[in-house]
A and B are shown apart, each in its own frame.
Chain A
């Protein structure tokens, strides 16, 4: 229902969006993921009509939005820090979009009650905005964005400013809510956990371009390139030359899965695929650090003449810093990446 064609936006010298093509289907939840300053917010502002395009086109339900001002686009946008109207109470905020649509008062009141129930704030209509906690403000902002029944709901870092436990709870609630309402959603976030939990489809953006697009599982299992791999938090990325089912790397010869692309490139080993063996076998490393991660221990290893790497060990078997150990690699946890752009 939403389609972006070669959309480009420049600010002064820098390019915030660089020929982006993107499609969001009806009832789909799409999450745009990327580091801050990668052009994610610009993408939403462009669709909302708050940011003029330098080139390219935006279609909503097949209609070109060029020349349609923000207030006639019929999309909803939840701002990063909510932007609730400070001089109105909760009900006044939620009712705003309905008033703009000239919905009669009685109907408005019904809808406010309904929405506040939906977001888990029943009876809060007369409360002052300033008296709300961060999580409550977020819920009111969501209710306000949903009230006019937008064709497309956009969320800019929806949970960005909330603390971790609240975030984890709300992300589940949101996912469940969007599924129930059948809302079409385009969200942007820099938090991969949020994106993977919320989205049907994840789009990774970098410097105004789309680096990878796919289901959360696809992106997680097969990062398209070094940038995506590193952005997802994988550090074990090295240059490699693949021939057959083995690759030449600074860590020695590594096994790779069947059907991996051949030739020079980059390669990722997930920490779980780094197995510790006695020091006499495999790649010889010194343990430099140990970090407790709850379910496992992350062990930092320094080979003699190669980049450091990380291994995930069971809680009991983890070696101490200073220990010598050997390392072997598990082909199932090795991913050959696309071209090593900007490794």
Chain B
């Protein structure tokens, strides 16, 4: 418990405190008025407004597109369902930069639609909205569909027998049961899109700027750290509010529902309506999720031979001091270090949280731990930038800075993965081992470890994928001679010329393949588990 607490105090609370001080303390005097003053500026108000409405629109659009998907995955059984489930999940772990690049290749200047029909969406908000749906489709399908699959269909049948029509039964029985899950998923999507950075940075152009992008712009282009700090505080408060709301809905979701084994509720599609629904979901997945990635790969190969890939190995062009290909090595090294830190910190925290006698204080820590997840990577990166560059903690020149930031973003995933599994370990199983002569450490090794080993692997994989694709925090603190893959992609896209564009596509493709492989390995582990327990 002590180690995670210290970790979060030093690398999260301290930077956040530094941000607050930087933003609200002028000439040694606290000025809370700065908050309203900055937020009242017309251009800032415009950013706030755009951030909010694009998040709302993205959330609504995602629900609209993904709810049929949730139904199909929950209730229908069809060949290739496992594969499709994995395909749907891939976008969620893809780096934002890859998604941005893929949509650029699809709907941007010189993109597929531009080539075919002269249609460009990157000057409109649609590119951003579509990319957000792409990203969060899996959130809705997994959260809502996961619960839907476990709802006992006999509940609906009972309502039918009692005289309710099919529609009424769904509305009165299933929908209320799903309600909290839908709300939780919607809040999650809202949170992710509210704090969207990489996608907006790449697809937004000068016209569309979210709070996150504005914080980055104020920091790196205008060098107005004080305004950036005030914006970060505003962001922090908004995200905190959303997280509180989310925790509340999740608690409600845990209310008594009759849950059954998911594998027994799915049936072969019957009737035209169900076939049509299945068909439309497949088309949606193909067009919305598969096509952008396919185009990305296509564009990266859109030169004789593997010219773009080959160009990655040269250090010319002045974009980098080193060949872009080196970014792969950097990224992998950083991600491994970040994964080790995140798994260590996250599982220690999860173990402390899982204890039945955990006090109110410890449980409060649970919510606190989720903050870095929502509090946006930009906050983390910016906080590191302004707090860890001087004594008492000067890590400016240290390579560890990037893994630390990535671990901070990855640790909540580790906790979320480990906690349910640890909580599910029956305390009496541990007691049984103790009575049979196992010391506490032996109990952990003999009882907990075999059960959580798989979860630990999954958590590590998640942390790895998150670290690999992390952009928001890394872009603040990565040194220019040691860029990570996403940072390198963003920098290539920022430069003119076909070669840079092509290299960005190629590098994105590499990143996508690595992340997708990591995810598919995880999916494999996950499905094995259902058979075992």
Contact = CB atoms under 8 A, between A and B. Distances in A.
B431 A85 contact: no
Contacts of A85: 429, 432-433, 446-447
Interface stretch (A23-31, A71-79, A203-211): A71-79
Given A79-B428, A100-B442, A87 B435 contact: no
A288 interface: no
Interface string B431-443: 1111111111011
Interface string B399-435: 0000000000000000000000000001011011111
Given A79-B428, A83-B428, A100 B435 contact: no
Given A79-B428, A83-B429, A85-B429, A97 B436 contact: yes
A79 to B, nearest CB: 6
A83 B434 CA distance: 12
Interface string A321-340: 00000000000000000000
B261 to A, nearest CB: 14
Interface in B427-474: 428-429, 431-440, 442-443, 446-447, 450-451
Interface in A41-87: 45, 48-50, 69-77, 79, 81, 83, 85-87
A45 B438 CA distance: 16
Nearest to B425: A86
A76 B426 CA distance: 19
B236 to A, nearest CB: 38
B444 to A, nearest CB: 12
B357 to A, nearest CB: 12
Contact of B434 (A71, A87, A101, A148): A71
B533 interface: yes
A250 to B, nearest CB: 46
Contacts, number: 64
A207 B435 CA distance: 26
A144 interface: yes
B437 A97 contact: yes
Contacts of B442: 71, 100
Given A86-B533, A87-B450, A77 B432 contact: yes
A97 B434 CA distance: 9
Nearest to B447: A85
B70 to A, nearest CB: 31
Contacts of A87: 450-451
A178 interface: no
Given A83-B432, A85-B429, A96-B433, A71 B451 contact: no
A214 to B, nearest CB: 29
Contacts of B426: 83
A75 B435 CA distance: 7
Contact of A50 (B431, B436, B437, B446): B431
A71 B438 contact: yes
Nearest to B437: A100
B178 to A, nearest CB: 31
Nearest to B443: A71
Contacts of A72: 437
Contact of A148 (B432, B436, B446): B436
A148 B533 contact: no
Interface of A: 45, 48-50, 69-77, 79, 81, 83, 85-87, 96-97, 100-101, 144-145, 148
Given A71-B443, A85-B429, A101-B437, 17 more contacts: A49-B434, A71-B438, A71-B439, A71-B440, A71-B442, A79-B431, A83-B428, A83-B429, A85-B446, A86-B533, A87-B451, A96-B446, A97-B436, A100-B437, A100-B438, A144-B436, A145-B436
14 contacts: A45-B431, A50-B431, A50-B434, A69-B439, A70-B435, A71-B439, A71-B440, A73-B435, A76-B436, A83-B428, A83-B431, A96-B436, A97-B437, A100-B436
